């Protein structure tokens, strides 16, 4: 069957995540398999506006499967939010003969896709974010690698905290989503986990758990905090959830916690097997959609299967914390096994 498109573009937008390169590779190789030309768009929507592009072939994506970050670079584009910016992006597509675009990123990236589709460009989105906060998919590229990076760092940190009998407060990424903190908290046997989706009480959910653990004979404590754990507007404008929690612990319990902010270290590094394979499957499916003449689709991972869903419906699905994992966490919380 002949392809519905002859030339497509691929871009990465928003925050980078391990596995994006694997998705780009899959898009390019699948397109070439169908005889479709591929244009790499660098620096996200900004690159489409400014014509920052490169023609891609099999050599372009050789040996990138195991590389973190994104070879196409990424950026956020304020100009693309304007109608004038979108018109410039459409003009680039017309000039280069780009009939379809695969965009790898988060909700903001998908909203950009929808805006572009209204100008006649076929679009498919692939979820790539370490926060795993895209409601329509059970899994997004980069989440597992980021979680394992955080877990390894916390395990190392625990060794020294135990040696010095200290309390450690670790901040993981998650400005509006606590999935990563929740998952990491289960994996590390944290004393407490604080996330933005669940209202928490410091004295009950942190102080009393530390006090109970100490009375049970434990001498060091691990508190996992999502960067957006505080909903207070002033705190959100001036991030520093872990430092705030540490100050509260010192004031309430008289112990001096050590703060570790993992920050962007969670984004870097080679993607693990799950992210490489998931990204490859999603990249393949995205091109198959365009070849079949589909548009406004998001490639999702649901119940172990890769499917494509309507983009507007996908964006209407709100993010929520994994309920089953939260139940597990509540049963395990405070049971610091060290």
The residues that are catalytic are 131
Question: Residue 236 is encoded by which pair of tokens?
Answer: 């959100």
Q: Residue count of the chain, please give it.
A: 338
User: Distance between CA 124 and CA 99 in Å, rounded?
Assistant: 12
Q: Is 55 left (phi over 0), alpha (psi -120 to 50) or beta?
A: beta
Q: What is the DSSP track for 6-75? A: SEEEEEE-SS--TTHHHHHHHHHHHHHHTT-EEEEETTHHHHHHHT-EEEE-GGGGTT-TT--S-TT---
Helix or strand run (H / E) with residue 147: helix 143-164
Question: Residue 138 is encoded by which pair of tokens?
Answer: 């059970």
User: Distance between CA 173 and CA 207 in Å, rounded?
Assistant: 23
In the 8-state DSSP scheme, what is residue 202?
A: H
């Amino acid at each position: 069957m002949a392809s519905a498109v002859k030339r497509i573009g691929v871009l990465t937008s928003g925050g980078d995540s391990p596995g994006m390169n694997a998705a780009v590779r899959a898009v390019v190789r699948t397109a070439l398999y169908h005889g479709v030309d591929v244009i790499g768009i660098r620096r996200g929507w900004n690159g489409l506006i400014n014509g920052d592009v490169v023609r891609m072939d099999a050599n372009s994506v050789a040996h990138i499967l195991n590389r973190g970050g994104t070879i196409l670079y990424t950026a956020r584009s304020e100009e693309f939010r304007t109608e004038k910016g979108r018109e410039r992006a459409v003009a680039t597509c017309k000039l280069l003969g780009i009939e379809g675009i695969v965009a790898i990123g988060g909700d903001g990236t998908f909203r950009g896709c929808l805006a572009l589709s209204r100008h006649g460009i076929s679009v498919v989105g692939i979820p790539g974010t370490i926060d795993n906060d895209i409601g329509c998919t059970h899994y997004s590229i980069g989440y597992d690698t980021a979680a394992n990076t955080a877990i390894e760092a916390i395990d190392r940190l625990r060794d020294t905290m135990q040696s010095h009998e200290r309390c450690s407060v670790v901040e993981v990424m998650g400005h509006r989503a606590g999935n990563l903190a929740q998952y990491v908290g289960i994996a590390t046997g944290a004393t407490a986990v604080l996330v933005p989706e669940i209202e928490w009480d410091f004295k009950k959910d942190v102080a009393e758990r530390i006090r109970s653990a100490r009375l049970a004979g434990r001498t060091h404590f691990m508190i996992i905090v999502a960067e957006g754990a505080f909903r207070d507007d002033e705190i959100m404008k001036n991030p520093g959830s872990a430092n705030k929690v540490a100050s509260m612990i010192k004031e309430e319990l008289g112990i001096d916690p050590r703060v570790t902010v993992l920050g962007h270290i969670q984004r870097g590094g080679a993607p693990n097997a799950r992210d490489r394979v998931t990204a490859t499957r999603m990249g393949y499916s995205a091109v198959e959609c365009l070849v079949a003449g589909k548009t406004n689709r998001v490639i999702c991972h649901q119940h172990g299967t890769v499917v494509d869903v309507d983009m507007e419906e996908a964006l209407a699905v709100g993010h929520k914390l994994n309920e089953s994992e939260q139940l597990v966490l509540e049963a395990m919380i405070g049971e610091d096994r060290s």
